[in-house]
Structure 1
C-alpha cells in the first residue's frame, strides 16, 4: 500500500472501512434530511437548535459511562447492538415521513434516542480502530483514513440528500440510511479479532470513570487537546445548524442550495483528511493544529459578514478544512499518547468534548440567531473561536519551551 493508505493493508481494517464508508453516506443523508424536515415543518431557528441539542446531549450526559463499557466489554459486539438500534431508528423516521405524520416532537424524541445510542457507539468505534490494524505504527493513518471516510461521505451525502429531498421528499433519505446499516453490520460480522481483545478486567463503573478522569487531568497533552476540541464544539461547529436559514433567508435557495453549502464544508474537511493521511508520523502535528484553530474562528466570522454566495463557498471550504485539522489532528495526538487500558474512557471524553458539548452550542447559537440574527451570532462565535485557538497555541508553545528547558 502507498503510505497514505497503509492502514488498508490490514484485512480487518479494510473490511471495517468499506462497511463504514457505505453507512456514513447514509448517516449524512439522514442528518441533512432531518434538519431540513424540522425547518420545513416550523421555519424556526429555535427548533433547529432543539433537534441538534436532543441528538447530542445524551453523549454529554452518558458518554463517560459509554467509555467505561467500551473498556469493559467486547467492542465488536457493542457495535453490532448499536448499529442495529440505529437502523431501527432510521426505519421509524422513514415511516413517519412517508405517512406525513412527523411532528417537531417526533423529530426531537427520535433525535434524542439516536443520541443515547451514539453515547455508546461513538466511543466504541473510536476505540476499536487500534484492534483492527496489524501494526500500531499504522494507527495514525487509520485515524486519518477514518476522517477521510467521514468527510468524503460528508461531501457526497449532503449534496445527494439535497437532491433527493427536493425531488422525492425526506422519507427516501431515511430509508436509504436504514439500508446502509446492513453494510457495517456485515463488516463487523466478517472481521476476525484475536481472542480476548476488548475484554479486560475493569474496576467498578464509578471507580473506572474516576480513574479515566484523573488520567486525562494528569496528562497535559491530552488535557490541552480535549479543551481545544471542546471550545470549537461550543463556538465553531454550531454554524451548521444555521445553514438552512443561511441558504433560504440570505441567499433565497432551497434544500439543494443547503446541501451544496454543507457539501462545500465537507470538501474542505475532505482536503484536510487527505493532508493528514499523507503524513507519515505525528511530527509537527501539534503546530499544525495550533495554526488551524484560529483560522477556523476567522472563517466563522467571515461567513457571518459575507453577503455573496460565491464568497461564502470558499469560506466554507476553509472552515471545513480548519475544523477537520483541529478535531482529527487532536484525535490522532490523543490516540497515539493514551495508555490502551484507558482508551475507551479517554475516547469517550473526546467524544463528549466534540459531540457532547455540540448540543449546548447548537441550542445557544440557535437561540441567539433567533433573537439577534444569523450574521451577528456567527461573527461573535468566530471571534471567540479565534481567541480559543490562540490560547491553545500559546499553551503549546509554553509546553514546548518547558520541555526544551528540561532537556
Structure 2
C-alpha cells in the first residue's frame, strides 16, 4: 500500500552516491531524501527544545521542587537504560522509514496530549511524569531507527557529514526553541508551547512520506529469530574498535555532560548572576556545539585518535572552567567546551556507525545510545550529590577529571590493541609525545 507521494509505487531512481568534495560542509544536503529529512527535523527539533523548557517550568510551577524536575528528566531517560537494546533489535528487524513514521507520530501525540491537559486546566504532575516516561519509551525505538536510517539515505561516503549536520540541526534548534518557549510561556501560557511541539512532528512525518524509497540504500533486514540481542552484544564484544569508543563516550556522557546541574550551581552559588544569565550560559554552550558540529561536517575522515584527544581536551577544559576565578572567563570557556563536547559525540557516533555491518547497525547504535544517554539517571544524581556536598567547583572538576581519565585509559588500550607504543622525543626544539608502531621502535633500536 502506498504511504504517500514518492512511495513504493514511484519510478525507481538510482541512489545519489556522488562523492563529497573535501571541505564541503553541507554536501549531504545534495541528496533529496536527506534534504527532506533534515528539513523536517529542523521543525521537530525546535518543538522538542520548546517542550523541554516548558516541561521543566510546568513541573516547577506545579510542585515548587527542583527534585521533581530531576525525576521528570530521569523518567524520560530511564526507558533507554532499561529497554534500549531491544529497540535496536526492532530497528534492525523492520523497515526504518515505516518505524519512524509511527514513532514520530507517537511523539507528536504525546505533545498534543500534554497540551490538552494543560490548556484544560486539569494537568497534574503525575500526568507530566507519565508522558515523560511514554516519550522515553517511544525514543527507545525512534533513536536507533533514526540514527541508522541516516546511512540508508546518504550511503557510507556521506555518513559522517550527515551525522555532523544532524547535530548542527539539533544545536540550531537549541538556540531558537527555548527563546520561543519563553515568549509563549510569558504571553499565552505553557499549553500553547506544548501544542506547537505536538504539531511540529507533522513536518518529519510529511518528509518521510515524500521520500523516494527507490533512492534509499538497501539494507538486508534481520528476520525474526531467537538470540538476536545476544548476537548484537557478541558482535560488539568481538570488536575493540566498537567496544572502546562506546566505553569512552559512556564515561563522558555519564559524568561529563551534567551541565544543567553545574550551570545552575555556578549561576546561583558561585557567581550570583541570576536566572537570566543562566540562560545566556546555555546559549554560549549551544553556540560552541553548533560550531563544533559544522566543523565536524567539513572533516572527511573519522579517526579514533581524534575521539580520544577530543575527550581528553574536553576533560581538561572542564577542570579549567571549574577553577575559573572570574565569571567572564568561565563564560568564555563554555564555548570551546560545547564545541569539543559535540566533537566527541559526533566522532564517536560516526566512527561506530561506519565500522558496523549494516545488518547490525540498529542494535549497535541502540547500545551506543543506551550507554551515552542511559547513564544520565546514574551520573546526574551522583554528580548532583557531589555538587551539593562539596560545591559547584568540585562537582564540575570531578566530571572533567573522570572524562580525562577515561580518555587516557581508552587511548592506551586502543594503542595496545593496534600494536602502537608511546614514543617521547624532541621535534624542532619542543618535546613531542606520539603513538608509533612497535616494529618501527624495534627497527630504530
TM norm. shorter chain > 0.5: yes
| Cα 1:199–1:363 shift into 2, 3 Å | farther
Q: Deviations over 1:354-379 (max 9, x none)?
A: 11222222233334445554443222
Q: 1:97 aligns with which of 109, 118, 136?
A: 118
Out of 211-220 and 191-200, give the one that drifted further.
191-200
Report the counterpart of residue 344 of structure 2 in structure 1. 326
Aligned length: 402
Select 1:237's aligned residue among 248, 257, 260.
257
Task: Quote the residue 2:365 is aligned against.
Answer: 347
1:187 is aligned to 2:207: yes
Alpha-carbon deviations, 1:335-354, whole Å to 9, x = none? 11111110110011111111
Counterpart pick for 2:102 among 81, 91, 116: 81
Q: Secondary structure at the match of 1:37?
A: helix
Structure 1 segment 2-401 matched on structure 2, within 5 A: 3-99=24-120, 101-133=122-154, 135-194=155-214, 197=218, 200-205=221-226, 207-247=227-267, 251-254=272-275, 256-282=276-302, 285-306=303-324, 308-401=326-419
Contact 1:53 1:359 in 2 (8 A): yes
Root-mean-square deviation over aligned CA pairs = 2.6
Q: Is the 8 A contact 2:245 2:304 kept in 1?
A: no
Higher relative contact order (CA 8 A, sep 6+): 1
1:317 Cα deviation (Å)? 1.5
Structure 1, unaligned runs of 5 or more: none
2:212 is paired with a residue whose SS is coil
Moved more, 241-250 or 43-52: 241-250
Shift in CA distance, 116/241, structure 1 to aligned 2, threshold 3 Å: farther
Q: CA separation of 1:395/1:163 partners in 2, compared to 1, >3 Å: closer, same or farther?
A: farther
Comparing both structures, which one devotes a greater share of its residues to helix?
1
Task: Give the TM-score, by structure 1 length.
Answer: 0.90
C-alpha separation in 1, matches of 2:186 and 2:417: 51
Secondary structure, in 3 states, of the residue corresponding to 1:356? coil
Q: What secondary structure, in the 3-state scheme, does the structure 2 residue paired with 1:4 have? A: coil
TM-score, with structure 2 as normaliser: 0.83
Q: Closer, same or farther in 2 for the Cα pair 1:380/1:203, shift >3 Å?
A: same
Aligned CA distance change for structure 1 residues 163 and 385 (closer, same or farther; 3 Å): farther
- Structure 2 distance, partners of 1:326, 1:271, is 13
For residues 35 and 247 of structure 1, the distance between their equivalents in structure 2, rounded to whole angstroms, comes to 18
1:305 Cα offset (Å):
4.1
Deviation per residue, 1:143-191 (Å, 9 max, x gap): 1111111112222223433444444443333222112111101001111
Identify the range of structure 1 (158-167 vs 138-147) with the bigger mean alpha-carbon deviation: 158-167
